[in-house]
């Protein structure tokens, strides 16, 4: 193995030429660095003769968006490759195919989803996806069930947990999601227009902060299953009919509700952003209705598939006790609602924002969306423990309007 | 390093002679295998000239009490040695000193506590220990605090969690404490006299089994801190004034309440056993009162020291939020009460019993103690979520009488 080096486009092409069975010998390869994330290089390597292409995802030894001052373990590439493989086994077709993985180069060679769009961009554009709620519900149910104690042999589960030892990326979440938004941290990125609102609303609300501290405690202690760890609408790629979940480099053993909550949060951020992207209030009302329906259906698909797996494939004998499932699914729901609140708030005042809201050109509309996201986020965090079904989210949104 | 071999007394002596600075060159060494546990060899190596002695604790590659049919990882010796070292740092004087550790031989060379008695034997004999509740309270508070997310850097905590990867010993607890007592498992050791009682009382009570399943879920997912993992009254050695906690080979990252609950359970098993060991009911009443006082004081010492550490040494910023501590200590208490119930029940019907009860010669008294332990255990499991203070245990005992 050669020593790690961050690839140039030329080095990416040279590496691609050596891949067995990937391109014909006559290939005329071109490489383009297309990464728009915060952490990695993403190259598209394309043969202009055959039209065939692949993606190279290479981890960088630092946080790309910040630079060399924030070093980050290359081991996350191994974690991502392994998580994608497990997800492919659990729900074939819902993740990109991994062709090969080079640990030394922290490089994943994988399927090019060139005909797919990042879901977040589709939502901003007001598109609708007929299979999205089903696909994501199924993806979550299957990936989250099959790595849990409900299904896995307990010794094998603990071995898998070690494979997904991911302390540096967990630390990013611990800081950026669960800590920094709740004080005047240098990492925060607080829009100037709402700074005066944030201090009393987030920093002086001890009841809110206490609930966030409890959710942070769950994030760091509740090793229920292998979670994706960063399941926002930028980690989902879509076509009109197809869905692929990408980028599980934050994968670790955590609470099941963390993934579910991340999806809820990002759909609700889109909900808040709608007036800034639609031409009139009628369009806003209609698309918001679609988003709330997507949330509801996604949960119902998730819950139905998770229940089916529980009923047919649970190996853990005590989990089969009457009433256990109801308890189990309810704590997933309540965790998910709480985590959703944390994820909404951090996307408004924390380091990393979402395009849904930041691209709203009209200042008044953008500020309204930001304040609404903070209000819904806080209400979800504080109201989660009364939730017994997904309709609780709709009620909480109502109170926060 | 030589290949692992289970020592004979002769091999133990030969090994002891090679230890630097342990015995004088003129030593006349004798070795005796004194292990009464289920898993290991314990040799006392003594110099009859100087009177100096040491303990060799050597893990066997199988469960001693069962034999070669139940293989068990030797890695538990490493875990025990490391846990003893961390405990010595956290609370000097409350664990035996480890002189050396030989990984290849799965051998710990440690302080001989020859003037100490196993606490369980002292309780059966009706002795009282003036410093016990304080020492155990302090031991639990300090060991459990310093390996938790309240205190540790999150990256270091996760690294320590991996050091205490202990799946085989966890599996023993998962099976023997949280699973087998709740069905007609071959591993169970159900006293013939209460067999007819057990089926309706444990196996047909779905509400009880559901709560046990929830507690088992906490045992396998709630990675709060490094717990001792087997903190019963056979893992504590005492003199009139001194206390040492031994045998942390089950150590792993689990719920704080698991250790606290194990102590509660074993003191309550002693409580149930009292009529079988005292000469009259007056003696029983008095010693039971002592035991309940010990439980109460142990919790109060634990809680006071844990609170002091929380207030002065917490590094986790979100945990400092107003109200978080009250939530945190309450979940420890409720977990502890629930785990205590599970640990009582398993000591009556599961594989490993306790001498407190099994040595009661009078059948009627022994059966009464067994049934009382099952009743208190079930009441603790079902009643834990209403507990807001240690006095809840006294109320639960009252209802189960």
The answer to whether the CB atoms of A149 and B221 lie below 8 A apart is yes
What's the CATH number where B81 sits?
Answer: 3.30.200.20
Q: Which of residues 268-297 of B touch A (CB under 8 A)?
A: none
**Boundary-marking domain end, from A56, A80, A111:** A111
Nearest-CA distance from A70 to chain B in Å?
Answer: 15
**Boundary-marking domain end, from B94, B111, B128:** B111
Residues A349, A344: Cα–Cα separation, whole Å: 9
Domain assignment of residue B307, yes or no? yes
Give the pLDDT of residue A38.
73
Residues A295, B90: Cα–Cα separation, whole Å: 48
Domain assignment of residue B57, yes or no? yes
Give the pLDDT of residue B70.
82
Chain A to chain B Cβ contacts (< 8 Å): 102
Burial call B212-242: b when 16+ CB within 10 Å, e when fewer: bbbbbbbbbbbbbbbbbbbbbbbbbbbeeeb
Per-residue pLDDT at A1 exceeds 60: no
DSSP string, B278-341: SSSHHHHHHHHHHHHHHHHHHHHHHHHHHHHHHHHH---GGGGSTTHHHHHHHHHHHHHHHHHH
Nearest-CA distance from B157 to chain A in Å?
Answer: 9
How is residue B119 written in tokens? Answer: 């606490």
Per-residue pLDDT at A339 exceeds 90: yes
Q: Are residues A191 and A319 in the same domain?
A: yes
Domain assignment of residue A3, yes or no? no
* Domain range enclosing A87: 9-19+29-111
Domain assignment of residue B4, yes or no? no
* Annotated binding-site residue? A230: yes
> What average pLDDT score do residues A61-76 get?
83
Residues B74, B353: Cα–Cα separation, whole Å: 24
Q: Are residues A134 and A236 in the same domain?
A: yes
Range list of H helices, A147-238: 154-163, 167-176, 195-198, 206-221
Decide if A23 contacts A14 (C-beta within 8 A).
Answer: no
Give the pLDDT of residue B2.
78
CA-based nearest residue to B268, from B347, B360, B214, B193: B347
Res. B63 pLDDT band, cuts 50 70 90: confident
User: CB under 8 Å to B92, separation ≥6 — which residues?
Assistant: none
Per-residue pLDDT at B105 exceeds 80: yes
Residue of A162, A168, A171 with shortest CB distance to B165: A162
Decide if A51 contacts A23 (C-beta within 8 A).
Answer: no
Interface contact B385, partner A, CB < 8 A: no
Residues B243, B96: Cα–Cα separation, whole Å: 10
Per-residue pLDDT at B67 exceeds 70: no
pLDDT digits 0-9 by tens, A7-47 = 999 999 999 999 988 998 889 999 999 987 778 999 999 99
Nearest-CA distance from A47 to chain B in Å?
Answer: 43
CA-based nearest residue to A264, from A331, A357, A335, A366: A335
Q: Are residues A90 and A130 in the same domain?
A: no
**pLDDT: which is higher, B38 or B128:** B128
Residue of B158, B159, B174 with shortest CB distance to A154: B174
B4 DSSP assignment: P
Q: Residue B78's Cα: distance from chain center in Å?
A: 18
> What average pLDDT score do residues B334-348 get?
98
Domain assignment of residue A24, yes or no? no
pLDDT digits 0-9 by tens, A305-338 = 999 999 999 999 999 999 999 999 999 999 999 9
Q: What are phi and psi of B57, to 5 degrees?
A: -110, 120
- Name the region of A106 (left: φ>0; alpha: ψ -120 to 50; beta: rest): left
Q: Are residues B80 and B174 in the same domain?
A: no
- With both helix axes pointing from N to C terminus, report the angle between B324-349 and B363-383 in degrees, rounded to the nearest 10: 150
Q: Are residues A235 and A369 in the same domain?
A: yes
Interface contact B200, partner A, CB < 8 A: no
How is residue A154 written in tokens? Answer: 């307990």
Domain assignment of residue B2, yes or no? no
pLDDT digits 0-9 by tens, A353-375 = 999 999 999 999 999 999 999 99
> What average pLDDT score do residues B339-365 get?
98
The answer to whether the CB atoms of B221 and A222 lie below 8 A apart is yes
Give the pLDDT of residue B373.
98
CA geometry: angle B173, B178, B179, nearest 5 deg: 105
Q: Are residues A270 and A140 in the same domain?
A: yes
The answer to whether the CB atoms of A319 and B217 lie below 8 A apart is yes
Per-residue pLDDT at A295 exceeds 70: yes
CA atoms within 13 A on the CB side of A296: 11
Interface contact B256, partner A, CB < 8 A: no
DSSP string, A125-163: TT---TTHHHHHHHHHHHHHHHTSTTTS-HHHHHHHHHH
Q: What are phi and psi of A63, to 5 degrees?
A: -80, 115
Q: Are residues B127 and B235 in the same domain?
A: yes
B179 to chain A: which residues are within 8 Å by CB?
317-318
Res. A64 pLDDT band, cuts 50 70 90: confident
Give the pLDDT of residue A187.
95
Residue of B170, B206, B212 with shortest CB distance to A154: B170
Residues A346, A180: Cα–Cα separation, whole Å: 8
Decide if A302 contacts A141 (C-beta within 8 A).
Answer: yes
Q: Are residues A104 and A206 in the same domain?
A: no
Q: What is the mean pLDDT of chain B?
A: 96
Give the pLDDT of residue A67.
67
pLDDT digits 0-9 by tens, A193-206 = 999 999 999 999 99
* Annotated binding-site residue? A320: no
A153 to chain B: which residues are within 8 Å by CB?
none
Best mutation target among A220, A229, A329, A335 (most B Cβ atoms within 10 Å) is A220
pLDDT digits 0-9 by tens, A129-162 = 999 999 999 999 999 999 999 999 999 999 999 9
Residues A134, A305: Cα–Cα separation, whole Å: 10
DSSP string, A238-296: E-SS-EEE--GGG-EEE-HHHHHHHHHHHHHHHHHHGGGTSSSHHHHHHHHHHHHHHHH
Which residue of chain B is at minimal alpha-carbon distance from A324? B210
| HEC assignment per residue over B148-193 | CCCCCCHHHHHHHHHHCCCHHHHHHHHHHCCCHHHCCCCCCCCCHH
Label residue A237 exposed, middle or buried (CB < 10 Å: 0-12, 13-18, 19+).
buried
* Annotated binding-site residue? A248: yes
Domain assignment of residue B1, yes or no? no
Q: Are residues A254 and A134 in the same domain?
A: yes
Is the CA virtual torsion B32, B34, B40, B44 positive or negative?
A: negative
Q: What are phi and psi of B233, to 5 degrees?
A: -75, -5
Residues B194, B367: Cα–Cα separation, whole Å: 7
Per-residue pLDDT at B194 exceeds 90: yes
The answer to whether the CB atoms of B167 and A154 lie below 8 A apart is yes
How many folded domains does chain A comprise? Answer: 2
Interface contact B170, partner A, CB < 8 A: yes
B209 to chain A: which residues are within 8 Å by CB?
318, 321-322
Give the pLDDT of residue B303.
98
Nearest-CA distance from A118 to chain B in Å?
Answer: 32
* Binding residue ranges of B for substrate: 230, 346
Q: Are residues B29 and B141 in the same domain?
A: no
pLDDT digits 0-9 by tens, A91-118 = 999 999 999 999 999 999 999 999 999 9
Res. A401 pLDDT band, cuts 50 70 90: low
* Binding residue ranges of B: 40, 57, 111-113, 230, 247-249, 346
Give the pLDDT of residue B1.
56
Q: Using a pLDDT cut of 70, give the percent of chain A over it.
A: 99
Domain assignment of residue A187, yes or no? yes
A185 to chain B: which residues are within 8 Å by CB?
none
Interface contact A92, partner B, CB < 8 A: no
What's the CATH number where B395 sits?
Answer: 3.90.1200.10
**Boundary-marking domain end, from A111, A144, A162:** A111
Residue of B178, B183, B318 with shortest CB distance to A212: B318
User: CB under 8 Å to A25, separation ≥6 — which residues?
Assistant: none
Q: Are residues A87 and A207 in the same domain?
A: no
Q: Using a pLDDT cut of 70, give the percent of chain B over it.
A: 99
3-state secondary structure of B77: helix
User: CB under 8 Å to A8, separation ≥6 — which residues?
Assistant: none
Rg of chain B over all Cα atoms, to the nearest angstrom: 21
Q: Are residues B76 and B98 in the same domain?
A: yes
Give the pLDDT of residue B398.
86
Per-residue pLDDT at B88 exceeds 70: yes
């Amino acid at each position: 193995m050669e020593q790690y080096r961050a690839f140039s486009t030329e080095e990416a092409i040279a590496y691609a030429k050596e891949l067995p069975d990937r391109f014909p010998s006559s290939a005329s390869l071109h490489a383009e660095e297309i990464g728009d994330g915060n952490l990695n290089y993403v190259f598209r390597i394309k043969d202009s003769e055959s039209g065939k292409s692949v993606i190279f995802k290479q981890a960088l030894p630092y946080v790309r968006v910040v630079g060399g001052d924030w070093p980050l373990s290359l081991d996350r590439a191994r974690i991502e490759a392994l998580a994608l493989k497990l997800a492919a086994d659990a729900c074939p077709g819902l993740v990109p195919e991994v062709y090969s993985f080079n640990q030394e180069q922290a490089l994943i060679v994988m399927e090019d989803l060139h005909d797919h769009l990042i879901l977040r961009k589709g939502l901003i554009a007001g598109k609708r996806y007929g299979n999205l709620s089903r696909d994501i519900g199924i993806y979550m149910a299957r990936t989250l069930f099959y790595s849990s104690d409900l299904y896995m042999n307990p010794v094998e589960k603990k071995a898998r947990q070690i494979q997904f030892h991911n302390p540096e990326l967990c630390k990013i979440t611990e800081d950026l999601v669960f800590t920094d938004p709740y004080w005047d941290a240098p990492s925060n990125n607080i829009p100037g227009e709402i700074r005066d609102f944030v201090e009393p609303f987030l920093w002086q609300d001890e009841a809110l902060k206490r609930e966030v501290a409890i959710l942070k405690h769950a994030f760091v202690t509740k090793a229920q299953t292998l979670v994706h760890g960063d399941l926002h609408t930028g980690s989902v790629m879509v076509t009109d009919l197809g869905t692929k979940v990408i980028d599980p480099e934050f994968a670790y053993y955590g609470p099941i509700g963390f993934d579910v909550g991340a999806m809820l949060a990002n759909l609700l951020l889109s909900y808040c952003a709608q007036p800034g992207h639609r031409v009139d209030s009628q369009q806003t009302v209609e698309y918001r209705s679609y988003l709330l329906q997507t949330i509801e259906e996604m949960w119902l698909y998730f819950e139905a598939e998770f229940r089916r797996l529980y009923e047919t494939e649970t190996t853990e004998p005590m989990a089969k006790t009457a009433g256990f499932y109801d308890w189990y699914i309810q704590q997933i729901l309540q965790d998910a609602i709480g985590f959703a609140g944390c994820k909404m708030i951090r996307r408004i005042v924390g380091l990393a924002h979402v395009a849904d809201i930041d691209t709203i050109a009209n200042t008044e509309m953008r500020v309204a969306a930001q304040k609404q996201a903070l209000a819904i986020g806080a209400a979800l965090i504080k109201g989660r423990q009364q939730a017994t079904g997904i309709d609780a989210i709709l009620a909480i949104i109502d109170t926060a309007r």
